[in-house]
Structures are given as C-alpha cells and as structure tokens.
Structure 1
Amino acid sequence: MTHTSSNKHVALNIAVLTVSDTRDEETDTSGAFLVNALEADGHRLVEKRIVKDDKYQLRATVSNWIASTQVQVVLVTGGTGFTARDTTPEALSVLFDKEIEGFGELFRYISYTEIGTSTVQSRALGGMANGTAIFCMPGSTGACRTAWTGILQQQLNADHRPCNFIVHLKDSEAPPCDSRG
C-alpha cells in the first residue's frame, strides 16, 4: 500500500449545525467543540447555527449549505437518538445523493469501546450531496470528540492515505486517492 503525502494542507470550508430545543450559544458545548477542533486543524468555519429539532428547519438550513458554493462540509450534532424529537436522520438523509454508510458503522464501532452497548442507540450517519460531505453525530460533546478524533480529523485531511473525502468535495484541490493495490 502506498502512503504518499502531498505536504499541502487543504483548508476546508465547514459549517456546523447544532440540533437542539434547549441549547444556546453559551450552553452549546458540542458545537463549540467542533468549531474549535476544525479551526485547530486549519479549516475555516463558514457558519455555525443552532436549530430546533424540526425536520423542515433542519432541511432548509442544510439544503442552503449544500447549494452554497462556499460550504464543502457540514457537521451536525444532535437529534440522532430515539426520542420522538430526534429527527436528524429522517430530516437529512433524504437530501443525500449518496449515503456514507461507513461513517455511522465506524462511529458505533469506536463508540462501543467507550460506552459499550449503549452505542446501539446512536443513529449517526453521513452522506454526500452536491459535492458537500454531511456528517451527523450525537449531541454530546464526548460523541463529537469521538467522531472528530476517530474519523473526521483523518478523513478531512488531504494527507491521509490511502483515501480521504477531500477529493470528493466541490472545489477540491486534493490529489486523487492512492490505489489500495
């Protein structure tokens, strides 16, 4: 397996959406973690919003980001559980051109080592739409940390080999993925 490095950082334009009926900018620790993490890794925050757990408001917000020429990645925290108010998967999966099945699968695998079988209640998911990667994760700061450090930090890094998501994003400057030969 070849592991070449481009040695060229690709700063992505990322939007962060917190799905919550109760959080505001002062109490949104999950959204704040994602903003800090993406900026620490050299990416750009395009916009951050908090939207109530309403599938039509969620669709409207994310649809605008998908249509935008500025947003390459959308990170969504919250609304992925099993309560009646948790509608993130139902709201956003219909917007996907392709689902990224591996994101939810890998998130639950990593999460299992941290919280055991409670991870079966996570409906984390990912998808691609109009050259925009969308990753939906649970609303806890710990879950966001798991998703970022265990998956997203590498997959949003142009130097990660053999593959990363940057080559699939609109206006990407990344070289194609290496063959797994």
Structure 2
Amino acid sequence: MGHKTQTPFQPLQIAVLTVSDTRDESNDTSGAALVDGLHTVGHVLADKKIVIDDIYKIRAIVSQWIASEHIQAVMITGGTGFTARDSTPEALIPLFDKEVDGFGELFRQVSYQQIGTSTIQSRAIAGMANKTVIFAMPGSTNACKTAWNDVIKEQLDASHRPCNFVPQLKASTSEQCESRG
C-alpha cells in the first residue's frame, strides 16, 4: 500500500455523472454517495448531472467536462454492465487519450471480496482525456462506495505516494511520482 507525504492535500474540481434510465435527484443514491465521498475529503463538486443510458448523450456531457478549463476529474456511475442499454464504456473509450487499465482490474479484485465472481460482469473503466481523469463504475451504491474508498480516493490525493493522478491533471501544482527504490 502507498503512504502519505508532506505534500499538502489539493482540493480538486470533480464532476459526477449518473447514467440511468430510471434515476432522478430524489433517488440517485449512487451519485449522492460519490458526492458525499468527494466532499468528505475536501474536494469540490464542479457539476453533477443525470443522463439516460445513451452513448451520444453520455459522450456529449463528458466531452464538455473534458473541455472545461476547471474540471480535473469525472466520476461516472452506471451503464457499465452487460444489458442491452449499458453503454458507458462505449461512450467513453473514444474520448480517452490513454486508458487506465489498472482501475478496472483493481476494482474487480476488491469487489471480488464482496460479491464473488459476479464482479466479472463489471466493465468498470478509467482513462485520461485532456488532463482530466475519468472513472466509470457500476451503478450500485455499494459499488460506488467500494470504488471511491478502495481505489479512487487515494489516487485523487496529492499526498498519496508513490504515485497519484493529481500531477497529471489540469491546474495542478503537485510533483510527479517519486521513485520506488
């Protein structure tokens, strides 16, 4: 596991997108869990939206956030399964400059402890686009809490070492990864 350094915490501007054909602000517990998580550690909610599971509508919102000068990270909940309507990965992959393969791998490894082999049905993905890190996770509230607490939170913390994403993001003043040796 990583460790903390003397590097100060840097609040990030984070947008949250819920992909769902049935959720609205009154019942979006997954989006709310992500917002609570980012607020708890001191990040700023830059924007929050709910969109139906449509490749082009998802892509349009995320593209606006990627193009924004201020949004540094995007967290997306929903649309990562295998039903006919699940299209979040297909919407995002063309937008990525680079994929963060380790996110999906680690998320599924951590999730295995909670839901067993059903974790293989998660198509959780992450990537970088225009110095914005994007994380897409399943739509369940527990999956969002797992992704935030066990993977994403440390990677959006400038004091986490040996590496985190903060130095790679827009308007960051943090240092690059330190040596492991």
Q: TM-score range by the shorter chain?
A: over 0.9
What is aligned with 1:125?
125
Is structure 2 residue 140 aligned with structure 1 residue 144? no
Is structure 2 residue 84 aligned with structure 1 residue 68? no
Write the deviation string for residues 137-181 of structure 1: whole angstroms up to 9, x where unpaired: 000000001100100111111111100010111111112211112
Per the alignment, in what secondary structure is the counterpart of residue 161 of structure 2? coil
Letter in 1 for 2:128: M
Unpaired segments ≥5 residues, structure 1: none
How many Å separate the matches in 2 of 1:170 and 1:85?
Answer: 32
How many Å separate the matches in 1 of 2:175 and 2:5?
Answer: 10
The correspondence of residues 1-181 of structure 1 with structure 2, limited to 5 A, is: 5-181=5-181
State the aligned residue count. Answer: 180
Per the alignment, in what secondary structure is the counterpart of residue 47 of structure 1? strand
For normalisation by structure 1, the TM-score amounts to 0.97
How many Å separate the matches in 2 of 1:49 and 1:17?
Answer: 5
For normalisation by structure 2, the TM-score amounts to 0.97
- The answer to whether the Cα contact below 8 Å between 1:14 and 1:43 also exists between their aligned partners in 2 is yes
- The answer to whether the Cα contact below 8 Å between 1:3 and 1:178 also exists between their aligned partners in 2 is no
Unpaired segments ≥5 residues, structure 2: none
Write the deviation string for residues 109-150 of structure 1: whole angstroms up to 9, x where unpaired: 000011000000000000000000000000000000110010
Give the share of equivalent positions with the same residue, in percent: 62
Q: CA RMSD in A?
A: 1.1
Per the alignment, in what secondary structure is the counterpart of residue 133 of structure 1? strand
